[in-house]
Amino acid sequence: MRKFTQILGLFFSSLPVVSWAWADQTDFAALREETFEAAWSQVGASYYDSTFGGLDWDEVGDRYRAKLPTAESMDQVRALISSMIYELGDSHLALISSDYDPEEIMKPWSGGAAGVEACYAGDRIVFYRVDPKGAAYEAGLRNGDILLAVDGERVKDFRRSLEKTGQPEHVLKYSLITALLSRLRTEAGEKVKLLVRSPRGKKRLLTVELKRYEGRSTEPLGRMGRMPLGLEATLREDGVAYLRFNLWFPAVMPEVRAFVGSLPAETSGLVIDLRGNPGGMMVMAGGLAGLVLQEQAELGRTTLRSGHVNVVGFPQKDAFAGKAAILVDETSVSTSEVFAIGLQELGRARVFGQPTPGAALPSVFFALPNGDSLQIALGDFKTPNGVSLEARGVIPDEVVSVSPVELSAGKDTVLSAALNWIHQPN
């Protein structure tokens, strides 16, 4: 998952001894230049697209290098480097300051849970999947409530803070909702104040005291810490199988495989709900695809500077052959996008919901001389037909809007649209 630079103020004390001040300035100028050159050259050497999307990287470097002498603090150097790399416009290309405290934007999961999810209704963040036994429900939160502020910080102000980081527009909605929801997933016992508005316009200030999460969690992986792992697999009364999991982690696959393999022959359809799923291990996209494919097929490939990596679905025993529907929204990212667009292009599944952000690039982190880190995308994912996911995302076959009023009445319009299609005669 992508982290973004936050500009923090650095203040240098004026020293009474002139020789010391001169030495500081000389050291800063050298570090400023070393840091800039390291960032520019590392992108030039490692970025997956040797054509840089049509940009002349030497010219870009010269243009920003000319501005470098005007940078009087390391924050200004960071802003300059960030502006330079954002010209490439990729979601997995970022400068991460050594002064940056990621918890100011994204709170780490610490074992707490509110029992609630959120989605978008237009530009509004709306709560849904409110667990009747969860802390949010006990505090008075209901499906369809619109989020206005968290702990006194308004949603629109939080969005402005994210915009100032310079991150690409296409990942902004995902970053905003993820960061705000992280406040509801910190430590058990922590109290979070929510200002919400009901679908009919009534504002309420609620205090949610987080409960201890009692479900499964993932093992730490790379830079990703332990996270809650959820799975829902049911055969509905109408004969449609419903599958939802929140992360692409291997721990869910045995149960997913067993569930799909055990479906009765008369099962009318399979709904795979990837809303709120930010991705994980991309190889799993091919594994799950094999549970709904009758023959081997490529979902797409990640092209690197040299060579490529294919995502392939290999048909598996007891693969499901009926109608398959995939649900996505603005919070379906990375592997979720790869899986959805791959099966969509193959004609094996129909996609419902809202367009996804388009952020599915593999990346790596490099250290810079000033202690900062530089995240660089190493590959570009494209479908077999040459469609690039980056900044485009998955465009649903049926774009379905979400209504706070309908959510409050217990109706999931996206799921309903998928079920209606499944129940239609071929």
> What does the DSSP assignment read for 120-150?
EETTEEEEE---TTSHHHHTT--TTPEEEEE
Lowest-pLDDT choice from 23-27, 34-38, 286-290, 350-354: 23-27
pLDDT at 19 > cutoff 60 = no
CA 47, 53, 58, 62 dihedral sign is negative
Q: 14 pLDDT band (50/70/90 cuts)? A: very low
- Burial of residue 285, with CB atoms counted within 10 A of its CB: 0-12 exposed, 13-18 middle, 19 or more buried: buried
Higher pLDDT, 163 or 42: 42
Q: In what order do the strands lie in the sheet with 363-367?
A: 94-96, 373-377, 363-367
Rg (CA), the chain: 23
Question: Does 172 have pLDDT greater than 60?
Answer: yes
Enumerate the domain spans of the chain.
18-100, 109-212, 225-360+381-423
CATH number listed for the domain at residues 18-100:
3.30.750
Asked: is 109-212 a CATH 2.30.42.10 domain? The reply is yes
108: part of which helix (H) or strand (E)? none
Q: Greater confidence, 169 or 121? A: 121
> Is the model's pLDDT at 244 over the cut of 90?
yes
Specify the pLDDT at position 424: 96
| Residue 311 backbone class (left: φ over 0; alpha: ψ -120 to 50; beta: rest) | beta
Tell me the pLDDT band of 221, cut-offs 50, 70 and 90. Answer: low
Sign of the Cα pseudo-torsion (306, 359, 336, 133, in order): positive
pLDDT of 101 > 80? The answer is no
Q: Model's pTM, two decimal places?
A: 0.85
Ranges 14-28, 51-65, 152-166, most confident: 51-65
- 3-state SS class at 39: helix
Task: Please give the residue that has the higher pLDDT: either 224 or 95.
Answer: 95
Return the closest-CA partner of residue 46 out of 359, 375, 282, 389: 375
Q: How far apart are CA 93 and CA 87, in angstroms?
A: 10
Q: What percent of the chain has pLDDT over 70?
A: 90
**Which residues, at least 6 apart from 68, have a Cβ–Cβ distance to it below 8 Å?**
32, 33, 36, 77, 80
Mean of pLDDT over the chain: 89
List the beta strands (DSSP E) in 165-258.
191-197, 203-209, 211-212, 216-217, 228-229, 231-235, 240-245
Q: How far apart are CA 242 and CA 267, in angstroms?
A: 11
Q: Looking at residues 151-165, what average pLDDT do you find?
A: 88
Provide the pLDDT confidence category of residue 268 given band limits of 50, 70 and 90. very high
Region 27-37: mean pLDDT is 95
**Which segments of 237-287 are extended strands (E)?**
240-245, 269-273
Sign of CA dihedral 281, 108, 132, 152: negative
Out of 3.40.50.1000, 3.10.129.10, 3.90.850.10, 3.90.226.10, the CATH code matching 225-360+381-423 is: 3.90.226.10
The predicted structure's pLDDT at residue 254: 96
Q: How confident is the model at residue 89 (pLDDT cuts 50, 70, 90)?
A: confident
Q: What is the pLDDT of residues 363-415, one digit of tens each?
A: 788 899 999 989 888 888 999 999 999 889 999 999 999 999 999 999 999 99
